[in-house]
A and B are shown apart, each in its own frame.
Chain A
Amino acid sequence: MRDSFAALHPAVTFGYFVSMIACSMLVMHPVAQAIALAGAFSYSVLAKGAKALRFNLFYLLPMLLIMAVMNPAFNHQGVTILFYLKSGNPVTLESILYGVAAAVMFITVILWFSCYNAVMTSDKFIYLFGRVIPALSLVLSMVLRFVPRYIVQIKAISYAQRSIGRDMSQGSLWRRARNGIHILSIMTTWALENGMETADSMKSRGYGLPGRTSFSIFRFDRRDGILLAIMAVLAFTMGAGMMLGTVSMRFFPSLKLAPVTGWSGAVYAAYALLCMLPVMINLQEAWKWKRIESKM
């Protein structure tokens, strides 16, 4: 399906992911973690569909379990001793819970990154950083053009060599090494020679004239502004909560949770809204479409 959160201006989405990843890495409080995990999980499934669901269940879930089990095996801090291992080391409640919390944090960050990857395509990244350093945007764009192109070319050369019996996969070990070097050598010559034409094409279209501008297809509209403001308010609330210790959590030597108060309730609500923002935007739009379609 179409992801309407991804259609926002790159600055908005980039800012969103940066703050989400930072928050999930810094906060270990179970309520905040649960909120972040729920938000990241639901958005990854929404943005990438069944493939993400399968990845989450088959890779992330076992990883979570393994990490939770591994921590108490090596970490023996904490005051609540449950039992002793054969080696004589204690297994503590604190280390088990810390293991779980660390694993959840790790997985939440991975989930946010996978969403980031799906949403922040190369051209958005180039656009954002091209504004900071204009020359960089063209260089990045050219890298993205030439790296895949060279890979295709290496394959073609290797293929041509294979059809005369001189590929990396043919002959004795010594022959293979020699063939490999030959393929690289052919590739280098090819790249230099053909690069001349690219240079001509750039020069011919005025590259190198002073006053180059950078064009993009992205526009920052009113909706982007409103969403950015909402995000800023929510993130600020969460940030204040983090600074004031409202959402902090201590594991060692003994467990200590920040108490739940009216203020902390407000912080969690803000965090929950923030984490669920992409999902809510998508749901809202889906609902809107339903209504439009029912009228048509």
Chain B
Amino acid sequence: MEAYRIENVSFSYPQTERKALDGLDFTIGSGQFVTLCGQSGSGKSTLLRQFKTILTPHGKRDGIIYFQGEPLSVIDQRRQASEIGFVQQNPDNQIVTDKVWHELAFGLESLGCDQRTIRLRVAEMASFFGIQAWFHKRVAELSGGQKQLLNLAGVMAMQPSVLVLDEPTSQLDPIAAQEFLETLRRINRDFGTTIILSEHRLEEVLPLTERLIVMDQGRIIADAPPVQAGAVLAGLNHPMFTAMPAAMQIAAALQPSSHEAYPLTINEGRSWIGNWMNGKTVGELPQSADEEASEARIVVELKGIWFRYERAAPDTIKDLSLTIREGEWYCIVGGNGTGKTTALSLIGGTLIPYRGKVLVNGKDIQKQGLKERFHRNLGLLPQNPQHLFLKKTVELDLAEMLFDSGLSKEEQQRKVEEVIALTELKDVRFMHPYDLSGGEQQRAALAKILLMEPQIILLDEPTKGLDAFFKEKLADIMVKLTQQGVTIVMVSHDIEFCAKHADTCALFFDGDVVTTNRTRDFFAGNSFYTTAANRMARHLCREAITMEDVIRLCRSSH
């Protein structure tokens, strides 16, 4: 039995020539777990929204979509509402009511179910998802991960046969994301619900996936089980291959011909490397020059900081001390709720410690005036870039930053041009900031900050929700900035990104830095909190922390 049959479907948005979807033709079997991936703008969301007529955007569509053998367009809204569940990216925006129990019942109320039915279904869902403990809570009290589980439960209560999910984990921290995906797997396995999921965190989702569809510019370029799809991408030398799990990339680099046997998980990767290295002596990693301890000037220094949000609240930051040097890329990593973001705000001076001192350029941040603090000194990029956008277009928005800078019009224009070039926003400069993709919004916000010419940039989870391609683009900009002597302090959950780019990493736990070290030594010293590549190869060489390191290490072994 098939869930969907897509016959020669094309789609273009109004007033554009470009086809967002271009002649798609495939079927999705009932009970399949399908993952859809592709770069931002490849048409993933557009495709997912074709699966439920009420969510289909305006535009011109050709071809027919069949749902369970009938054309989707003739299936009434009531049946679509209950049979096709849809979960979006942002956990907060999807919640409608104020109480958990009401949110679970929302869909069933819409369908007009009676009290008894709703009570039963809600009870079933609460039990399946483990929601009993927070059943009576207000939704505002829930964590992001809980909110997204609630959204899923609210949809599942309507007993859909198909679940369509548009990047549901992109706003969650890694642990919550893992839990969410695990729940999806249970739903798929226990109820045979068809799952169609778009994702860019492929490392976790591919082991659960039976079929991976890769899109590029509105077309499908690979459609097969993950290992084979990966092989196709490797064969095409496609940029999407860089989003594949580390194990697969390492194997493909070392032995391109071993298509069918590409490893997927870390465990498989570990044994693959074990086989490959069989009988060889382990080579050595060349020491690179930038890894010597830096003697540059100290620009940020925290001395015995204590902080709490309210007088009666528990301490969020406990006796925190750290030093950051000029031109350094400093990453603060660690779990949720350990105080990372708070630490960043303390450096930025937006929060005031009740004990201890924050010195920026040798001077107490709280004693620096507005101009001193924000002109050629500090710039903080908030977690949600949307909180900075003010004007109709990106260019006007950037110009707004300089309105009282005292510079001449030409001078201002020149600066805006410079920063647009640096952050590669040329193509989107006349668009509304909200119409940009996540990665572009992040860069537009960064551009605004850069107009203040900061010497120290504070970033709060800049890679959240970005795909591999946009992450690299962001990293390139950061590298350019550090070369100009700019210091970067970044808070992140994304250890792969930190391992690849940071100079120094600090592990935050319980309001304090547990360990700080040069990135390589930092990850070599951790056994669990480390990168996928490192976990695969640390039995051979603890210092191999990135994929490139592992590949180099293996190549130098004979």
Contacts and interface: CB of A to CB of B under 8 A. Distances in A.
A138 B151 CA distance: 17
A123 B155 CA distance: 22
Given A149-B92, A182-B390, A213-B113, A205 B345 contact: no
A122 interface: yes
B415 interface: no
A206 B111 contact: yes
Interface in B145-159: 151, 154-155, 158
B532 interface: no
Interface size class of A (residues with CB under 8 A): 35 or more
B367 to A, nearest CB: 15
A193 B434 contact: yes
A144 B94 contact: no
B111 A209 contact: yes
Contacts, number: 152
Nearest to A134: B109
Main secondary structure of the interface of B (DSSP, over half): helix
Interface residues of B, number: 62
B468 to A, nearest CB: 25
B306 interface: no
Among A122, A206, A207, chain B packs the most CB atoms within 10 A around the CB of A206
A203 B387 contact: no
Contacts of A152: 140
Contacts of A57: none
Nearest to B434: A193
A290 interface: no
B107 A197 contact: no
Interface in B93-149: 93-99, 101-102, 105-115, 118-119, 122, 139-140
A212 B112 contact: yes
A194 B90 contact: yes
A156 interface: yes
A174 to B, nearest CB: 10
Given A164-B379, A164-B388, A209-B111, A141 B98 contact: yes
A88 B142 CA distance: 65
Interface string A104-123: 00000000000000000011
B509 interface: no
Contacts of A170: 370
Interface stretch (A6-14, A183-191, A235-243, A276-284): A183-191
A190 B82 CA distance: 30
Contact of B390 (A186, A204, A213): A186
Contacts of A210: 112
A31 to B, nearest CB: 41
A197 to B, nearest CB: 4
A251 to B, nearest CB: 46
Contacts of A206: 77-78, 81-82, 107, 110-111, 158
A159 B349 CA distance: 11
A257 to B, nearest CB: 49
Nearest to A186: B390
A189 B389 CA distance: 9
Contacts of B111: 206, 209
Contact of A163 (B82, B158, B350): B350
A262 B379 CA distance: 81
A186 to B, nearest CB: 6
B271 interface: no
Contact of B110 (A182, A185, A193, A212): A212
Interface in A160-216: 160-165, 170-171, 175, 182, 185-186, 189-190, 193-195, 197-198, 200-216
Contacts of B13: none
A189 B433 CA distance: 11
A217 interface: yes
B484 to A, nearest CB: 20
Interface in A122-143: 122-123, 138, 141-142
A253 B111 CA distance: 65
A185 to B, nearest CB: 6
Contacts of B114: 213
A162 B54 CA distance: 40
Contacts of A194: 90, 92-93
Given A142-B96, A204-B81, A206-B82, A156 B388 contact: no
Contacts of B106: 202, 205, 207
9 contacts: A141-B98, A145-B95, A160-B388, A164-B380, A164-B449, A171-B370, A209-B112, A212-B109, A216-B115
Given A159-B382, A200-B55, A213-B112, 9 more contacts: A123-B99, A157-B387, A159-B387, A189-B389, A198-B95, A204-B52, A206-B81, A208-B110, A214-B109
Interface of A: 122-123, 138, 141-142, 144-145, 148-149, 152, 156-157, 159-165, 170-171, 175, 182, 185-186, 189-190, 193-195, 197-198, 200-217
